[in-house]
Amino acid sequence: GAGVSQTPSNKVTEKGKYVELRCDPISGHTALYWYRQSLGQGPEFLIYFQGTGAADDSGLPNDRFFAVRPEGSVSTLKIQRTERGDSAVYLCASSAGGALHFGNGTRLTVT
C-alpha cells in the first residue's frame, strides 16, 4: 500500500505568513508523529497523536505552532506568523505500534 505522504514537498513563504503542512499517514495507523529537522541535526520531536487526540504536544516550540488530526487520519501542522528560524524539514511519521514509517518531509523556507 501507499506510504506516508506529505504535502507540499517544498514550501517557501515570507516571514509573518501562515502555513499549513499536511500529512497523510498509512491507512490504519493510529499513531502519528511530527518532527522538525534542521541541517546536520537529528529529528526534533514536536507532537504525537494517538487517534484524534494529541497524546504529547510537549515538543511544540511555542503557541505559533498547532497541529490537528480531526478524524484520526490526516493531520495538519499549522504555523502562524512564521519566522526565519522556523525554516527546516518537517517530518511526519505514522505507526501501528513499534516502528515508525516516515514521509519524505516538507522543506519549509521562511524568507
Partner 1 sequence: SQQGEEDPQALSIQEGENATMNCSYKTSINNLQWYRQNSGRGLVHLILIRSNEREKHSGRLRVTLDTSKKSSSLLITASRAADTASYFCATVLFNNNDMRFGAGTRLTVKP
Q: Is 101 in the site for partner 1 (CB under 8 A)?
A: yes
Closest CA to 35 of 22, 24, 45: 45
How much helix, strand and coil, in percent to the nearest 5, is found in the chain?
5, 50, 50
Distance CA 13, CA 78 (A): 13
Over the window 23 to 62, marking each residue x when it contacts partner 1 by CB under 8 A and - when it does not, the resulting string is --------x-x-x-x-x-xxxxx--x-x----xx------
- Kindly list the residues in this chain that would bind partner 1 in the complex (CB under 8 A): 4, 31, 33, 35, 37, 39, 41-45, 48, 50, 55-56, 89, 91, 93, 95, 97-105
